[in-house]
């Protein structure tokens, strides 16, 4: 499938190529340029390019159905992308193609072409130049998804650093139900607890525009790239090296499939060490001064809770965090309230971790017994099968199933063993 990305009508066409104009509101909507820019510098051209590439990749991921692939999963995607720094991106072409291939499981070919600044960019730059105070320079940016891991990451970061003005928390939401509501609830709680300002938080929206009758792809493995690209764009405007904190427990980060049948949608690679390593290399090659860090790479979710630096506050806001991969599942059964499904892998790991972390689970779940619907019962059988066949003696081999691990093998293997034990202890306790 060929997808031609445009940011304005440059006349570029490809035979049999589908056109998407990211700045056409009938095709795509995003809010990046609506955010206030009080930063030390204007966004780097390379970072602006990356942002647009991430939006185009996400659009392709949504518009091109996996069911039409030869194996009903993998797709061949040709993306024709206009960029400001065409020489740099041509030099990084193979790297970003390999990175996206690992992230989404598809074969990517990206053809770059040179472009000029858009009217939106020119207006944004002119507005920035007119600002009297442009001295805001952040040293740490933390991803703030509204999930339990990002909540703990933000707590620990704020407890360790007294200068809250030096931090920025970046969120993203699309068309999914519930995400923005949980982010808002959590943000308000953090503002009150840590005496933060609204300037400490940025919330971005991005989504394709589609008609109700149009079928779109739901797997969207590329969402994380778009999520990170927003934060990277902000980081590029700080005029110094910036630490990008991506808080996620190590078990989810590795995301080892629990069965051979769950290597597709159930095996996302959002923060897999191999993917993060490639992304970091891409940033270095582009000259973007961002250091990516996951402080919980070798921690289970339960260990994150146990070691959280403000457990009292964590308990208070626990129900305001959202970990579920499909929180609107209850609508098919007449539920109007957004809640955790209770049976997906992120929900199961969440419930196990809360038990391990010795907190009271105040979250709302649709199904805690894995019995409500067929997919819940199937998920439970998959978990039980995986745990029954779990052999910690070959953990060093299992950690390679979602991607190559060449460093810290013993640490990752130990993490995997501890994470599986957390899950086993929980399922044995509920005994459904």
What is the pTM for the complete model shown? 0.95
pLDDT for res 265: 42
Specify the length of the chain in residues. 432
Which sign, positive or negative, has the C-alpha torsion 25, 28, 33, 34? Answer: positive
The conformation of residue 27, written as its DSSP 8-state character, comes to T
* Gap between the Cα atoms of 413 and 417, Å rounded: 6
Task: Name the one residue in this structure whose structure tokens are 């499938």.
Answer: 1
pLDDT for res 261: 44
pLDDT for res 264: 39
pLDDT for res 133: 73
Task: Name the one residue in this structure whose structure tokens are 């840590």.
Answer: 194
pLDDT for res 330: 60
Q: What residues of the chain score a pLDDT lower than 70?
A: 175-177, 259-267, 330-335
Domain range annotation of the chain? 324-430
Distances in Å between the Cα of 384 and the Cα atoms of 239, 246, 392 are 51, 30, 16
Beta-carbon contacts of residue 242 (< 8 Å; ≥ 6 apart)? 138, 139, 140, 141, 235, 289, 290, 291
pLDDT for res 342: 95
Residue among 342, 319, 348, 323 at smallest CA distance from 425? 348
For residue range 275-319, list pLDDT tens digits in order: 999 999 999 999 999 999 999 999 999 999 999 999 999 999 999
For residue range 200-231, list pLDDT tens digits in order: 999 999 999 987 778 888 878 899 999 999 99
Name the phi and psi angles at 165, rounded to 5: -70, -10
Determine which helix (DSSP H) or strand (DSSP E) holds 78, and give its type and residue range.
Answer: strand 76-83
Sheet (strand 201-208) strand order: 28-30, 201-208, 167-173, 140-143, 242-245, 290-293
């Amino acid at each position: 499938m060929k997808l031609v990305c445009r940011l304005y009508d440059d006349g570029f066409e490809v035979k049999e190529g589908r056109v998407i104009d990211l700045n056409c509101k009938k095709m795509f909507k995003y809010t990046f340029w609506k955010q206030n820019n009080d930063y030390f510098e204007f966004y780097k051209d390379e970072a602006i390019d990356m942002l647009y590439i991430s939006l185009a990749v996400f659009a392709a991921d949504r518009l091109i159905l996996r069911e039409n692939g030869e194996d009903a999963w993998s797709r061949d995607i040709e993306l024709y992308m206009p960029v400001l720094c065409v020489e740099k991106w041509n030099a990084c072409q193979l790297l970003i193609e390999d990175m996206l291939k690992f992230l989404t499981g598809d074969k990517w070919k990206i053809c770059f072409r040179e472009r000029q600044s858009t009217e939106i960019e020119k207006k944004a730059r002119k507005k920035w130049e007119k600002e009297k105070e442009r001295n805001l320079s952040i040293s740490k940016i933390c991803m703030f998804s509204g999930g339990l891991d990002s909540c703990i990451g933000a707590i620990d970061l704020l407890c360790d650093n007294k200068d809250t003005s030096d931090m920025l928390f970046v969120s993203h939401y699309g068309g999914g139900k519930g995400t923005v509501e949980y982010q808002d609830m959590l943000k308000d709680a953090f503002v009150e607890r840590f005496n933060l300002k609204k300037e400490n938080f940025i919330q971005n929206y991005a989504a394709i525009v589609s008609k109700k009758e149009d079928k779109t792809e739901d797997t969207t493995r590329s969402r994380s790239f778009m999520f990170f690209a927003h934060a990277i764009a902000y980081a590029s405007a700080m005029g110094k090296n910036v630490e990008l904190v991506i808080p996620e427990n190590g078990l989810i980060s590795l995301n080892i499939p629990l069965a051979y049948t769950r290597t597709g949608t159930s095996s996302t690679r959002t923060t897999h060490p191999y993917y993060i390593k490639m992304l970091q290399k891409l940033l270095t090659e582009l000259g973007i001064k961002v250091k990516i860090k996951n402080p919980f790479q070798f921690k289970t979710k339960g260990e994150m809770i146990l070691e959280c630096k403000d457990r009292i506050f964590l308990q208070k806001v626990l129900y305001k965090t959202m970990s579920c991969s499909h929180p609107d599942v209850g609508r098919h059964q007449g539920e109007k309230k957004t809640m955790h499904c209770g049976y997906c892998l992120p929900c199961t790991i969440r419930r196990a971790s809360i038990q391990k972390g010795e907190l009271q689970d105040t979250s709302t779940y649709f199904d805690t017994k894995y019995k409500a619907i067929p997919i819940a019962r199937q998920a439970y059988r998959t978990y039980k099968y995986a745990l029954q066949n779990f052999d910690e003696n070959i953990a060093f081999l299992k950690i390679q199933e979602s991607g190559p691990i060449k460093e810290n093998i013993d640490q990752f293997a130990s993490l995997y063993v501890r994470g599986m034990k957390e899950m086993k202890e929980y399922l044995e306790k509920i005994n459904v």
